[in-house]
Amino acid sequence: MAALTKRSLALHGHRTSLALEPEFWAVIDQAARDRALSLAALIAEIDDNRDPDDALSSSVRIYALTYVQNH
């Protein structure tokens, strides 16, 4: 896998950044397009539904994996 790519976004009104491999970003970008959501809206949804003990980046990777498996 390639090096991490960091993106900045507003999440629940706060600026944050998230670092993922480009392959995961490609899946997340596609999922957002397919669902007609902004990237920030999709990441916020993932954040809202994750276990508080899980890192956001891990939750986004799991979402991307599940998305690919189901499409």
For residue range 13-56, what is the model confidence (pLDDT) as tens digits? 999 999 999 999 999 999 999 999 999 999 999 999 999 999 99
CA-CA distances (angstroms) from residue 14 to 30, 41, 48, 53?
24, 13, 14, 20
Q: What is the pLDDT of residue 47?
A: 96
Indicate the helix (H) or strand (E) that contains 45: helix 39-49
DSSP code of residue 3: P
| Helix (H) or strand (E) segment spanning residue 17 | strand 14-20
Can you tell me the distance from the alpha carbon of 69 to that of 71, in angstroms, rounded to the nearest whole number? Answer: 6
Residue 1 pLDDT: 55
Q: State how far the Cα of 43 lies from the Cα of 28, in Å rounded to an integer.
A: 9
Task: Give the predicted TM-score (pTM) of the model.
Answer: 0.91
